[in-house]
Structure 1
Amino acid sequence: MTSLQISQFLQDSIIKDDTNDPGLDADAFYGLYVSWCSLNRKVPLPDHAFRTALRLAGLRTEKNGKGKKGVFQGLRMTGPAAVDYILNSSD
């Protein structure tokens, strides 16, 4: 994945939201990315390579108030990939 592709994914699918929302969990972030790749006919990177690409883009996980690691605070999913991810991940 190129940095241009990661930038496009972030632009299409992530917005900053500094409300009291708990943030975006790392597993959901990857699921959103896989949905975005599917909608855009891209081959997704493995999870570990995707997380490395996010770190290179300046995004880091933090602990949330409950001590859970792996949360991107202040970020929320949006757009068609968010809808696809939510619809396909519900039971």
Structure 2
Amino acid sequence: MADSQYDQFLHEATAPDAASGTGVGRDCLYGVYTSWCFLSRSVPRAEDAFWTAMKKKKIRPGRTPLRIKGPAAADYILSTYPGMV
């Protein structure tokens, strides 16, 4: 997966959240990424490759103020918490 697809994932499934001061955790961010890949019919890269790319983009789970958004976030939440349906 080219870096541009990571950029597309970040653009479509995350947003800056300076108000909270914290970001989503490691499991959540990778989970939203895999949901995004499923919905966009992309093959997800291994978790190590994903974190290497995020590190290059200076995204640190739990520290970079991000929130999840969009269809991938909804898919992740519903998959993680099926009792919410």
| TM-score, shorter chain, exceeding 0.5 | yes
Matched residue of 2:15: which SS? Answer: strand
Q: How far apart, in 2, do the equivalents of 1:72 and 1:8 lie?
A: 21
- Partner secondary structure for residue 8 of structure 2: helix
User: Is residue 68 of structure 2 the alignment partner of residue 77 of structure 1?
Assistant: yes
1:41-56 matched pairs, under 5 angstroms: 41-56=41-56
Count of equivalent residues: 82
Mark the runs of 5 or more structure 1 residues left unpaired by the alignment: 62-70
User: What is the CA deviation profile of residues 12-60 of structure 1, one whole-angstrom value per residue up to 9, with x for unaligned ones?
Assistant: 0010011236420011000000000000001101111100011112222
Q: Which has the higher helix share?
A: 2
Find the residue that maps to 2:44 and give its secondary structure: coil
What amino acid sits opposite 2:67 in the alignment? R
The yes-or-no answer on 1:34 pairing with 2:38 is no
Runs of 4 or more above 4 Å deviation: none
Cα pair 1:16 1:76 within 8 Å, conserved: yes
- State, as a whole percentage, how many aligned pairs show the same letter: 40
Aligned AA for 1:83? Answer: A
The aligned amino acid for 1:74 is P
**Contact 1:26 1:72 survives alignment (8 Å):** no
